[in-house]
Structure 1
Amino acid sequence: MITSRRGLLAGAFLMTTALALGACGGGDSADEGADAKTLTLWHYEGPTSAMGVAWNKAIEIFKTKHPGVEVKFEEKSFEQIQQNAQMILNSDSAPDILEYNKGNATAGLLSKQGLLTDLSDEVSKRGWDAKLSGSLQTTAKYDDDGIMGSGKFYGVPNYGEYVMVYYNKAMFDKYKIAVPTSLAEFTAAMDTFVKNKVTPLAVGGAEYPAQQIFYELALAKADRAFIDDYQLYKHKVDFNGPVLSYGASTFADWVKKGYLSKDSAGIKAEDMGVSWEQGKFPMLVSGSWWYGRFASEVKNFDWGTFLFPGNSLHPGSSGNLWVVPAKSKAKSLAYDFIDITMSPEVQNLLGNSGGVPVAADPAAITDAKNKELIANFNKLTSSDGLAFYPDWPAPGYYDVLVAGTQGLINGSKTPQAFLDEIAKPYTENLADLGK
């Protein structure tokens, strides 16, 4: 985000105005920072999320293996890192390792600016590439223009993610609604809820979740060629063509029909998730990163998931990346930490906590729901069904899409105005790249 994500918890964020003149990545010795006594680590996973549980375990293991090293863990929010990473990583306040969003507009941009370390030698030496399928490596590699899919490894993903529909089984049963298997059945289900004065979808329009719904709707008309054009710049994208225009017009139609509240334009992702946990909405469309948290926190009703009905393509990709800033003072320790997160112990814990591991032992995953979660992801990867996230193609595109979908929700923008608004920075980015 989606994937695209995902500021589940906010933390104090160290701001700095003392910018360094520049940074360069690549060509670093594996021993660089080996004698460091501190590892500063940032990530934005909530402590009860599957990734939060797994990364905390990885920190414990790291401390055992490096008894003389202090781990300074600082929890950030997705929004904080998204908005400030470029400035922070270009300063002496850069952490030694952090979780960062994948995609051209984020990790790709920082790699192009020389702010990230080239990890290619470590990936090969430690065998991380053998644990990552080709589709998962797409978001870890970037060329000299910062475009994903080829070039050098600037990050390592150790989990996968995808967008799905979470649903409240009790509310479905109350109104005798079956799990939909097509878009027509999905809209019919939402019509039933609206007739009974129930708003079908919990939505966070102030952050990433709303744009994921727009993208799911666009993907109902998309194929792999469109994804390659939109995400990898293979050919020009027609923003008034059948794919994106369908997504925008249908999203606006869903607002008119009451499938999502106009008030959701001001709702953040965290508040959206909490409202669904409280049983206020029957459905929530968002990513697998919520799964472990819902499994831990939802106590008052039974729930399940299903893929967005009728689509063969879905928002999703590898998970976010562990990246090592070029200014990291403990690179060797950072590599050791990444290695621990790829270990069977941490990967199996991730899977049993409701995450989607990339290198777990399937026999070690014991919960039926978790098995289903992982099986659905494997189904998407094996069928080339991951379509990445809508905000990836251009720097600053995340904020453009947030503002655009907010306009569709509160009625301040028409679908055409929305399409014009999102086409402009996309086209400008292509011009900058000489495309």
Structure 2
Amino acid sequence: MTTRRTQVAIVGAGPSGLLLGQLLHKAGIDNVILERQSADYVLGRIRAGVLEQTTMDLLDAAGVGARMHAEGLRHDGVELSFDGQRHRIDLHGLTGGKQVMVYGQTEVTRDLMAAREAEGLATVYDAKDVALQGFDGATSAVTYRHGGVTHELQCDYIAGCDGYHGASRASVPDGALKTHERIYPFGWLGVLADTPPVSHELIYSNHERGFALCSMRSATRTRYYLQCPLDDKAERWSDDAFWDELRRRLDPEAAESLVTGPAIEKSIAPLRSFVAEPMRFGRLFLAGDAAHIVPPTGAKGLNLAASDVHYLSRALIEHYAERSDAGIRAYSDSCLRRVWKASRFSWWFTSLMHQFPDTGAIGHQLQRAELDYLVNSRAASTAMAENYVGLPLAT
């Protein structure tokens, strides 16, 4: 067995782990990232890409925001479609000038990977049999297998950024973790295509046939979604069948202007709400999908991971620079306040826009009443806009 020491061991090379590593490096804190998959596999993940202002600010602080600002698409509003008409929510006007940025999570990951490689920082891909040890005591370590050799990474702290199925949350002792979960009775069928967007802003559509979302990754690449049954299969859907169904769920103007093309990628994702608490166990911190998952309707997943990293990086910098553990002690509570608010918004927006099999005619009418109130009340529109652009980070 080989042995190495670092200050912070980061498990997981997704956006949260890479962003944390970059922020800690900028502050002079040594860190090593361990990732069970290959770099190509990580970059091949197709994920959302609507960034809140706070996430943009963090990427700038990490020194990786240049390409985002050059190629990302700033959005001042979103459109809600129902009863054959679209209604715009003026995000910029209702929030005092705030915006969101459409920039794919894959591109965020690529920028962070490139920055880490340029700095010569240690990242171990294909790290197998990752095991977390000693985080409830005075020292901690992570062991893993790489290249047929077992390695031990000794560290002061462990950041568990390895997702829902990772080793970090699974390492927490039985009884120490409380989980909350809701599985939604449908999924999203998603298609990625090299076609121009049907609208310059996102369209969220509530339709009797099911929810639809028109999104984009760039001015030439689009991402569209359809609500579908949980037991549906992507291979059952031809490209033509997908485009035909999407048209049915859009308003006439959008349906007429929709540009179609071959699907680059087609997949079905289930929807769930999940929160694990607390998010700290001694020297182990959970961050991102390791601690919480939200349905993608509110575009909060990546942004919540980034806010976790904000609180965690500040806490660790405070520890090493000022010998204060106040931020470490407050980490879980600080994160969870924002996590639960974002989970509430994602649940509300999902419930508003989708067709549920058990709500019947009264559920349909209540949705219509809520949508009518939302688009015609400045107060209601403001509440949605404030949540959509991202609630402020606690100081």
Q: Smaller-chain TM-score range?
A: under 0.3
Task: Answer 1 or 2: which has greater helix percent.
Answer: 1
**Which structure ranks higher in relative contact order (CA pairs < 8 Å, sequence separation ≥ 6)?**
1
Task: Answer 1 or 2: which has greater strand percent.
Answer: 2
What TM-score, normalized by structure 2, do the two folds share?
A: 0.26
